[in-house]
Each structure stands twice: as C-alpha cells, then as structure tokens.
Amino acid sequence: MEQNKITIEFFHDVLCAWCYALTPRIEKLTENHNGKIEVIHRSFALTKKPEGIENIFGSKEDGKRQILEHWRAANINDDEHRINAELMAQRSFNYPYSTPGLLACKAAEAQGGNSMHHKMFNRIQKAHMTDCYDISDFEVLKMCASEIGINVEQWEKDYHSEKISQALDEDLYFASQNGINSVPTLIANGKYKLTGAQPYAALEEWISRIKLNKLKTLR
C-alpha cells in the first residue's frame, strides 16, 4: 500500500555538472511514481561572487582547467553524455559564477512556481554545459527565458529586483541551515539526505527505504 507523498528538496547549482547528470534521473523517478513524489528545487551557490573561481583555485585559468576535469568525469556519469568539456575549453570567456544563473531561476519561479524554476534550471544547464555559452552574460540568460514560455519582460524586471535577490539569499541560507555543503544533494521529507549524482537504481532503493523507515534521519 502506497504511503503519503514523498517531498524531495533538490539542492543544485547551475554550474554543477553532476547536477546536470542527476536531473533526468530525478525526472524519471517522479514519472515512475505517478504523482507520489514531489520535487522542490532549491538554489545552492558554488561560487557566489565573480572572483570566486580565482579565490578557490588561485587563478581563473587553473580554475577552468580543474573544473573541466570535473566535467569530463561527470560526462561519464551522465547517461546521455551531454557535457562538452572540449568545447568549453575552446571558449575565451572566463568561467562563469553561480549568482546570475541562480537569480534567473528564481525570477522564473516568481512567474511559474517550482515547475518554472525547474524548466529554467534545465535550460541554463544545457546552455552552460552542452552549448557552452557564458551563463554569466545576461543576454544568454534572457535567451533561455525566452525559450521556456514565460513573460520575458516581467522576468527581466524580477531578475533585477530586490525581491528575487532576497529569495535567492533565503534559499542559500536554508541550504546552510540544513548542512548542505555540496551539490547535488537531495533531502526527502525534511530528514533523509542523499548526495551525489546517484544512478537511477540507487534513487529507487533510497525511496524504498524511506517508505519502510529504514534510513537514519538528518537530526
């Protein structure tokens, strides 16, 4: 007998290649459970400020080089191998930081709720890791917004608003309060945590164990 709906909070960053690999599996999970799983999208910033890459890796060049090694590993994990590290290596722009893309997702959410956050997140990740555009460029983000079925003029106003900046800060604070220090991270029903780009079978096993109350809780 099916128990009550399971709510999964999916913490992710637009920059995160492992998140890109995991998302289709999360989508498959929700489809296969026929409305019994709800996914709430939560923002997390790997590099909140423009200087973040340089501060972490010592230089922008070393940062991009090391990040693309993560891309190559994540592309092996990705079921469809959509992550194009070789194309990004040829791009001349500095590797982007998290905040512009996260604001874009929250601005989309302001119009269409969680489902529109999901659509915008997916479109920005494709722009970043498959098409290898500069997602710190507002015009790239605006292009993404124009392709997901929202009012772009309203989205642009929201993107630049204090309301959306505060909404992003609330997500980041919420992640901090829940002990999230890497992405992707999933938290089910506010108490069961799973990290990393897990294979689909591992996600199903996790859900089964949650239903049977066979997992340790966060608290």
Position 217 in a domain:
no
Q: How many domains does the chain have?
A: 1
Per residue of the chain (219 residues), give pLDDT as tens. 345 899 999 999 999 999 999 999 999 999 999 999 999 999 999 999 999 999 999 999 999 999 999 999 999 999 999 999 999 999 999 999 999 999 999 999 999 999 999 999 999 999 999 999 999 999 999 999 999 999 999 999 999 999 999 999 999 999 999 999 999 999 999 999 999 999 999 999 999 999 988 777 764
The model's pLDDT over 134-157, given as tens digits with 9 standing for 90+, comes to: 999 999 999 999 999 999 999 999
Position 1 in a domain:
no
Position 216 in a domain:
no
| Domain extent for 28 | 6-211
Instruction: Tell me the β-bridge partners of 186.
Output: 10, 194
Position 150 in a domain:
yes
The model's pLDDT over 102-122, given as tens digits with 9 standing for 90+, comes to: 999 999 999 999 999 999 999
Q: Is cis: bond before 50, omega within 30 of 0?
A: no
Position 129 in a domain:
yes
pTM, rounded to two decimals: 0.95
C-alpha distances (whole Å) from 116 to each of 33, 110, 123, 148, 193 are 21, 8, 11, 8, 24
Position 171 in a domain:
yes
Position 218 in a domain:
no
Position 165 in a domain:
yes
Residues whose CB falls within 8 Å of the CB of residue 38, separated by 6 or more in sequence, listed in order: 5, 6, 7, 8, 30
CATH of the domain at 206: 3.40.30.10
